Structure 1
Amino acid sequence: MNKTLCAISGAVALASTFFSAAPALADGEVNIYSYRQPFLIQPLLDAFTEKTGIKTNVVFSSKGLGQRIAAEGENSPADVMMTVDIGRLDGARDLGIAAPIESTVVSTNIPAEFRDPDGMWVGLTSRARVIYASKDRVDQTAITYEELADPKWKGRICTRSGQHDYTIGLIASMIAHHGEADTEKWLEAVRDNLARKPAGNDRAQVKSIYAGECDIALGNTYYMGKMETNDKEPEQKEWAASVRILFPNSEDRGSHVNLSGVVLMKHAPNKDNALKLIEFLTSHDAQEIYAETNFEYPVTPGVAVSDRVKAWGTLKPDSMPLSDVAKYRKAASEMVDRVRFDDGPAT
């Protein structure tokens, strides 16, 4: 059995075990399949239950949930799917598991650029793909994504796999802005500027800067907050203190952002409760919880970022709709393989 099928089977077993204790059709419940780790969303779900009295049941898996829901079909207990990355949000449509979210509350709370044009998903928070730069070895205070191809960075860049959703999203945005031919030349140059083969998660890139293995790295903004407040692993606070965030392209089109979001399931057994949950997640109160606990950027107008996030600098987000960027994700993935990005420099 391949890894994907194993992951799906694991989600199947987990879902079966969890929901056997709480029938999906029971009143006052909503069943959530989540790619987001439970500790990240639990404060929101607790607030929702306190406000509405509706119980939340959560199944978490890092992969395979969309395929699981598609396989369950009309018998799926899932009411909503919570996930990160525009690829997974858009992928729910491709799998045929999404239903239109028809709510004036949602359309009022969330600007159009953070909603699917057909209502098949709604963004809940954004995060920027930024540059972590060594405080000791990088003097400049501004940068562009295009500049990552400059030979001055040769042997100085770290990043995670080119096939990770976060990297694919950035490359897709570059294709959207510059076309495939120019983006491929750029990606080859970035590959040759890498300090090592792509590896690890975003925090690992900051650790590499701290260790002197590279000087700059690509990463999502909220990881800085997670490291700065990590009392269980205090060494991560030292990693974070060794870098500062640079927001790419702040002086022109703005930094690439991605979304966390929610999808209403086509066969949701508790549709009314699912809509109540989605509406709550777009509310001012819920967006404040997101901002304070997850160090993400609220997408509901009028909700401020946390003081910690504000201290990193001002984000000017790229105004290109993510639904347009998502069109180039397949081309981005193919490009990563074509240039052998994950083989690292001197390929």
Structure 2
Amino acid sequence: MARSPLPPLVFAAAALIAGAGAATAEGEVNLYSSRHYDTDERLYTDFTEATGIKVNRIEGKADELIARMQAEGANSPADVLITVDTSRLKRAKDAGVLQSIDSAVLEDRIPANLQDNDNQWFGFSQRARIIFYDKNNVTEPPLDYVSLADPKFKGMVCHRSSSSTYSQTLLASIIENHGEEAAHAWAQGMVDNFARDPQGGDTDQLRGLVSGECDISIANSYYFARALRTDVTGVTESIDQIGWIFPAQEAEGAHMNLSGAGVAANAPHRENAITFLEYLASDQAQQYFSAGNDEFPAVEGVALSESVAKLGEFKADSVDLSAVAENLPTAQKIFNDVGWK
């Protein structure tokens, strides 16, 4: 994903936001969010300053919020659902808690492969799924996801459990890019190569390299970028030991995890909800996803923070994430078949 700073431009989203305050100064928007980052507070305060729309927020786990919206039904106060990963966005759509919207701003700003085919959700920030390795023990790291299943890496690989949405979406993307049979063989090879039972979060996979529990792992880019920017216990003090590869650069490109949002099916403040999503696609908000939480912006050409830029340029997988989402049930079946815990 090669990106470089562009000169300031006046986009439709910026114009819309700048002019929205007078019309909706007394308005509000209710967010149901499973993004648990304190740094997102800046997004909300800047939106209110720009538009006069008050932001009310309820935070929780994605599945809990989706279930809550279902239970609330037509009386739900939710205007916007914000969550992380394509699998959860699909779950929300399948649960009937989102609605289709028309927005020329979002259609223009957000790449087509990062939008739901029915315009029920849109991606606003991304994380690359990177292969990390112990430079002391690995001289020829795998160059793509498929190679991780090579028997020569037996007993060397750390990974998260099959219950992780990151694991599910990665396998679903392998199904889309390489077919179900190849994806099944990959999952079996991964299980055969595990250095330990799948466990922990992405930071724990990096810690596994430092501790010597494994030599190769996969983690989202923003966990490593955070360790470059600030102290992360068990990672930062040994960060020179860790090498990284953006996978599949000669093929489909690096798999990207998505953070996205959609307008709630029964949104009482629908227009304000759409205005909020359009704000998330503005340069101001897109830059803050990178500066505030070490993520890659969804909008092309937006400047990266220093820590994210240190990871280097790369080719991102441009697969349609709506198509990937359709493969999630098959991915779970494969995990079950191969005994991926």
- TM-score, normalised to structure 2, is 0.89
1:224 aligned partner, one-letter code: F
Once the two structures are superposed, residues 158-201 of structure 1 have per-residue CA deviations (whole angstroms, 9 ceiling, x without a partner) of 01102210001111111112222222122111101010000000
Unaligned runs of 5+ in 1: 1-25, 343-347
Pairing of 1:49-68 with structure 2 (within 5 A):
49-62=48-61, 63-68=63-68
Aligned to 1:331, what secondary structure does the other structure show? helix
Give the superposition deviation at 1:338. 1.4
What SS class does the counterpart of residue 64 from structure 1 fall into?
Answer: helix
Q: Distance in 1 between matches of 2:205 and 2:37?
A: 24
5 Å matches for 1:81-160?
A: 81-140=81-140, 143-160=143-160
Give every structure 1 segment of 4 or more consecutive aligned residues whose post-TM-superposition deviation is greater than 3 Å: 233-236
Which residue of the partner structure matches residue 317 of structure 2? 318
Provide the residue aligned with 1:14 in structure 2. Answer: none
Distance apart, 1:241 and its partner CA: 3.7
Corresponding letter in the other structure for 1:254 = G
Deviation at 1:235, TM superposition (A): 4.0
Q: Distance in 1 between matches of 2:107 and 2:309?
A: 27
The aligned residue for residue 12 of structure 2 is none
- The alignment's C-alpha RMSD in Å is 1.6
In the alignment, the residues of structure 2 paired with residue 313 and residue 67 of structure 1 have an alpha-carbon distance, to the nearest angstrom, of: 39
The equivalent residue for 1:195 is 195
Alpha-carbon shift at residue 74 of structure 1 (Å): 0.8
Q: Deviations over 1:62-101 (max 9, x none)?
A: 2411111011001111100001111111222211111112
Return the alpha-carbon distance in structure 1 between the equivalents of residues 144 and 330 of structure 2. Answer: 22
Aligned-residue offset at 1:142: 5.9
Shift of the alpha carbon at 1:239?
A: 4.6
Do the aligned partners of 1:38 and 1:60 also contact (CA within 8 Å) in 2? no
Look up the match of 1:273: 272
Q: Is the 8 A contact 1:142 1:247 kept in 2?
A: no
- Distance in 2, Cα, partners of 1:213 & 1:192: 16
CA distance in 2, matches of 1:40, 1:339: 39
What secondary structure sits across from 1:181 in the alignment? helix
* CA distance in structure 2 between the aligned counterparts of 1:277 and 1:216, rounded to whole angstroms: 40
Matches within 5 A, 1:1-347: 27-62=26-61, 63-140=63-140, 143-231=143-231, 233-342=232-341
- Mapped contact 2:100–2:120 kept (Cα < 8 A): yes
C-alpha separation in 2, matches of 1:331 and 1:272:
37
Distance, in Å, in 1 between the alignment partners of 2:101 and 2:33 is 18
- Distance of 2:40 and 2:52 partners within structure 1: 17
Q: 1:76 to 1:226 in 2, by over 3 A?
A: same
Task: Give distance in 2, aligned partners of 1:310 and 1:141.
Answer: 22
Residue 18 of structure 1 is matched in structure 2 by none
Shift of 1:242: 2.7
Structure 1 letter corresponding to 2:314 = L
Q: Whole-Å Cα distance in 2 between the matches of residues 78 and 310 of structure 1?
A: 35
**Kept in 1: contact 2:26–2:52 (CA 8 A):** no
Q: CA deviation at 1:307?
A: 2.4
Does the 8 A contact of 1:92 with 1:263 survive in 2? no
Residue identity matched to 2:164: H
Instruction: State the distance in 2 between where 1:173 and 1:301 align.
Output: 21
Question: Aligned letter for 1:205?
Answer: Q
Per mean C-alpha deviation after superposition, the further-off stretch among 240-249 and 292-301 is 240-249
Residues 230 and 236 of structure 1 are in contact (CA less than 8 Å); yes or no, is this contact kept in structure 2?
no
For residue 299 of structure 2, give the secondary structure of its aligned residue in structure 1: coil
Q: Is the 8 A contact 1:291 1:306 kept in 2?
A: yes
- Cα drift, residue 54 of structure 1: 1.5
Question: Counterparts of 2:259 and 2:238 in 1: how far apart (Å)?
Answer: 25
148 and 107 in structure 1: CA distance in 2 versus 1, 3 angstrom threshold:
same
Which residue identity does 1:262 align to in structure 2? A
Contact 1:100 1:120 (C-alpha < 8 Å) held by counterparts:
yes
Corresponding residue SS for 2:327: helix
Kindly state the Cα deviation for residue 304 of structure 1 after the two structures are TM-superposed: 2.1
Report if aligned partners of 1:206, 1:239 keep a CA contact under 8 Å in 2: no
Q: For the Cα contact (< 8 Å) 2:210–2:234, is it kept in 1?
A: no
Letter in 2 for 1:126: Q
TM, length-normalised to structure 1: 0.87
* Cα separation, partners in 2 of 1:244 and 1:50, compared to 1, 3 Å: farther
Higher alpha-carbon deviation: 190-199 or 96-105: 96-105
Q: What fraction of aligned residue pairs are identical, expressed as a percent?
A: 40
Q: CA deviation at 1:141?
A: 6.1
Bigger CA drift: 76-85 or 26-35?
A: 26-35
Q: What secondary structure is seen at the aligned counterpart in 2 of 1:341?
A: coil
